[in-house]
Structure 1
């Protein structure tokens, strides 16, 4: 009996193997992190039949053609805004930067493209009911323009409430621009979009798959959540538009999240971030509004935007800088904990400096592979002297950093590789003791509803689950 491989099949197998070798070399040269490059290269060398297509979709994290196009669009947008005489408004609101707390964050003035601004008011919004009550109230009072951007918009009860409200304001003559991520909102039905569009709402999808070279690109996402009303009131944080974020969908309910409401000159920075993404999607500027005057007192704030088109890894560097700046404490909450080497080293060093380092994570998984990898990192952090807590009542989705007694950051960025290198994110850094105290009280309440991991907890995990955690960690750089 002849067991030889047919010649054509043999040629195909050899071709796939050669493609695997060539693609592994490509991964070594192009994947941004050493861990990611190793993970892809090994998989492509030994399992090319299984990994070539996933690498085409998920692995080419630089996507030079897309990044160059995005950077070019950003330059065009900034040139257009310069013609509007946009930035000079900030001169009176620029912070003197004499704050000791801000001075400890020495890299921030150059890490962020946005200036640190004084005279802002920030209100903490805890969980979905408070968040959407404030957002809907602001939208309902809009007179000129509404800029609204979410990663996920669902056609459910909350999504339809938003839809109705936007249609009402558009009918009243308010300019409404709605931007959603094409991957995060992949389930949004065409009927939802067309009803808004026919009612006068300008609605667009943020996509990164334009162009022949990017047609398989689904790895970059716009994870920002921004609402700006009349150039005077802004919102950012962790919530998306879905009943899930109101805690109405088990098994993840109740949903724990945090948003903030902003007033003052920093709202202009939210408009600039929105304009950058809107310009990419439409090649047009949205309506941009600057109030004639701002209140004469308030806190220091700085917007930090980050994304894969940045020349440097802005989001990862922000976490490293925040941890290094801490002298007394750094408390971080995130739904996912997959730090890169730099962030994990910063956490270790902070613990060695006797800084009170705490990480608050969910006790329930929404993505099991990510949760498994996150669990292994959590135990390693515990052994390095970091206090790790698991939030018990429901799923924890907030993204908050509290630094010492005066500084706090809230926004959309998670403590993982996707936020560090693949997603477009936005965070707001605040420097104000009163607001930091509010954040401290909020987190203390969360810690009170959490279980702190103890030394030896990892010894009670079944061997098979430990193996799963380690396998998940191996692929964590590409999650």
Structure 2
């Protein structure tokens, strides 16, 4: 008791003095924290709008803005990506590969060479690419897993513990029982879309699985805003599946609540799918997998190349690919995407394409599952439609397909969207393809969707009530975060 009284007599005056100045101490701490966070943002953000947006949030919402920037605004992946390269996953890639063979259309040669320089990967002949609607794709994937004899590598953003995910788990478990090497990678954030998550079910069935950038402890989750959005399945290092489809029951419900397009890939470009999966698996599980393609060298007529993009060493690659494709177009650009909030450079490139006589056709869902993104898109679409873009809103169900074709020859399919998240924050995987027959098939898919879609005029966009237009403009201000 005497010791407590002595402590109180010794420290009470000092504590009283400190508490007397607490407003100043809090203000000074907030000022220092804001300066440090702002300095990091302006020094490290490549996009001036993102730097400005974070700076505004840091200063306008003291402490909270700094905490949010520290939690989701700092890219901590780039240094680890350099370590992965040093460990040998990409050492055999030529940084300036010769494009062999070249696309048949001469005006696409420069784009093919640009993609080679961006990715360090060659354009590969002899591939076959088969687009599949989601229910057919899910059935084909399960059948391929059941036929696997050597290996099954599966990466997905969302793996539902539902009517779509459980049959896949059953097929994976059967493969494990046959002695097949099975590896499953699920995004840490995407795994939370289902409760309970599939992780316990996978492990209970003996399926080796891990999550990408996941921790249940918030203070150990510095990557909350960086997500592995790739969807890749490789069977026996010879057959691949990739595209935009998650493993969710909405794709196969009756009636379906979501539409999507996935593709079965055969040929040497499957090796690019394996490289992408192997890098992500090594990052997450610290295990090195073989990346050599062992299937037939000639499976079809398609020239193809895998394009990995993300906030690591691959930052900016997808955006540059889109700019190159738009700039190379001479006759027609067709785009189907669920989320369309491009940055100013991409929007301007599309406007210039319209103004130089290229037909630009854009198909978006009439209603999306993320309303904020749809509102932001409604704010910028009038400028694009005013310059000649043909805009369509597809009918329900929600269309999650991601396609782009140029001049009836080039196509890109994969997991990437046209928004800030896919262009700067997500890890994405797409495949570029040079083949008129494939591009024609994809164009016919879009035409079928267009038959049930609604053409949207400039007048309709401009005649929205004032409060809705204000809502859209405010949502667009959040574009760097969407």
Length-normalised TM-score, structure 1: 0.89
Secondary structure of 2:191 counterpart? coil
The one of 39, 49, 69 equivalent to 1:35 is 49
Residue 307 of structure 2 corresponds to 304
Residue 447 of structure 1 corresponds to 450
Secondary structure of 1:294 counterpart? coil
Q: Which ranges of structure 2 fall in alignment gaps of 5 or more residues?
A: 1-18
Alpha carbons 1:145, 1:287 under 8 Å: kept: no
The one of 66, 70, 75 equivalent to 1:52 is 66
Residue 295 of structure 1 corresponds to 298
Taking the aligned partners of 1:210 and 1:160, their CA distance within structure 2 comes to 24
The one of 85, 96, 104 equivalent to 1:99 is 104
The one of 116, 122, 130 equivalent to 1:115 is 122
Alpha carbons 2:160, 2:197 under 8 Å: kept: no
**Is 2:29 the partner of 1:23?**
no
Flag as ranges the 4+ runs of structure 1 deviating above 6 A.
Answer: 208-214
Residue 376 of structure 1 corresponds to 379
CA apart distance, 1:464: 1.5
The one of 54, 64, 68 equivalent to 2:79 is 68
Taking the aligned partners of 1:292 and 1:133, their CA distance within structure 2 comes to 22
Residue 124 of structure 1 corresponds to 131
Secondary structure of 1:339 counterpart? coil
Alpha carbons 2:153, 2:182 under 8 Å: kept: yes
CA apart distance, 1:212: 12
Taking the aligned partners of 1:41 and 1:296, their CA distance within structure 2 comes to 52
Taking the aligned partners of 1:248 and 1:154, their CA distance within structure 2 comes to 17
Q: What is the 5 A alignment of 1:316-465?
A: 316-465=319-468
Taking the aligned partners of 1:424 and 1:182, their CA distance within structure 2 comes to 13
CA apart distance, 1:146: 0.5
Residue 13 of structure 2 corresponds to none
CA apart distance, 1:13: 3.6
Q: After superposition, what is the alpha-carbon deviation per residue over 1:220-247, rounded to whole angstroms, capped at 9, x for unaligned?
A: 1110000011112100011011112335
- How many residues align? The count is 460
What is the RMSD of the two structures over their aligned residues, measured on CA atoms?
2.6
Could you say which structure has the larger radius of gyration?
Answer: 2
Residue 11 of structure 1 corresponds to 25
Q: After superposition, what is the alpha-carbon deviation per residue over 1:346-398, rounded to whole angstroms, capped at 9, x for unaligned?
A: 10110111101111111112112222111112222112322221112221211
Q: After superposition, what is the alpha-carbon deviation per residue over 1:321-364, rounded to whole angstroms, capped at 9, x for unaligned?
A: 11111100111111111111221121011011110111111111
Taking the aligned partners of 1:263 and 1:354, their CA distance within structure 2 comes to 36
Q: What is the 5 A alignment of 1:75-90?
A: 75-78=86-89
CA apart distance, 1:98: 4.9
CA apart distance, 1:187: 4.4
